[in-house]
């Protein structure tokens, strides 16, 4: 990601991102302060504990903070993956983000699906003056049409469609094709059981 997280300190602290799809995408990102007396081994334990809760923790022994990214889909929650990350390391770069947000809000610029940037963490409290991390991801709103948001499509017309399936689709952000593929596997297994029963 462009720009040094340490700003004018020029410590060459950089953030790297990876583009992907699927259940392991990070949907939330926060900056957290490291405990003052935590050791490197303690941080490794924190990473391991986070992984068991579908949290990705990134840290460095020389930094007083760490990043915690949540894989909400793995946690069984409906959410959208982070589409973009920006670093503001000066007053001007922060103004650029504000300007971009204004353009997105007015429909002039397109960032992903038109999602505004929001602050994931202010690093100035760690001595990184005027530095902050900003993320962009779609946020479901009360005005969103559920049918479009979760793409139920033809699913609602199926005889096996019910409230339980609707909840699973929303919880794991499944597409219509995902559900039909799973249903196909289930049907194949069911046919195999019927054939076995007839043979017996």
Rounded to whole angstroms, how far apart are CA atoms 155 and 146? 13
Cα–Cα distance for residue pair 147/170, rounded to 1 Å: 11
When pLDDT is averaged across residues 179-187 and rounded to a whole number, the result is 86
Task: Tell me the average pLDDT across 128-135.
Answer: 92
Q: Which of 69, 90, 72, 89 is nearest to 18 (CA)?
A: 69
pLDDT at res. 86 = 93
Confidence of residue 113 (pLDDT cuts 50, 70, 90): very low
> Token pair for residue 165?
């399936």
In the predicted model, what is the mean pLDDT of residues 158-180? Answer: 80
Helix, coil or strand: residue 49: helix
Tokens of 194: 């019927």
Q: What is the DSSP letter of 14?
A: -
The gap from C-alpha 31 to its chain's centroid, in whole angstroms, comes to: 14
3-state helix vs strand vs coil in the chain, percent to 5: 40, 15, 45
Is a pLDDT exceeding 60 seen at residue 143? no
pLDDT the model gives residue 167? 80
Highest mean pLDDT among 46-60, 127-141, 144-158: 46-60
pLDDT band of residue 138 (cuts 50, 70, 90) is confident
**pTM (2 decimals)?**
0.66
Let me know how long the chain is.
Answer: 200
- Give pLDDT tens digits for 40-95: 999 999 999 999 999 999 999 999 999 999 998 788 776 788 989 999 999 999 99
């Amino acid at each position: 990601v462009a720009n040094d997280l340490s700003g004018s300190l020029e410590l060459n602290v950089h953030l790297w991102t990876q583009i992907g799809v699927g259940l392991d995408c990070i949907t939330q990102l926060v900056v957290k302060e490291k405990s003052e007396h935590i050791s490197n081994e303690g941080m490794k334990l924190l990473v391991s504990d986070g992984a068991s809760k579908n949290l990705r923790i990134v840290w460095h022994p020389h930094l007083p903070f760490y990043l915690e990214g949540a894989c909400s889909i793995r946690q069984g929650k409906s959410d959208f993956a982070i589409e973009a990350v920006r670093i503001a390391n000066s007053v001007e770069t922060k103004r650029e983000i504000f300007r971009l947000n204004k353009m997105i809000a007015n429909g002039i610029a397109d960032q992903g699906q038109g999602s505004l940037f929001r602050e994931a963490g202010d690093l100035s409290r760690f001595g990184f003056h005027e530095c902050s991390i900003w993320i962009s991801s779609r946020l479901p709103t009360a005005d969103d049409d559920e049918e479009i948001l979760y793409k139920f499509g033809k699913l609602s017309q199926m005889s096996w469609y019910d409230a339980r399936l609707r909840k699973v689709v929303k919880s794991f952000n499944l597409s219509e094709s995902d559900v039909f593929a799973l249903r196909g596997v289930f049907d194949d297994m069911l046919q195999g059981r019927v054939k076995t029963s007839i043979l017996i």
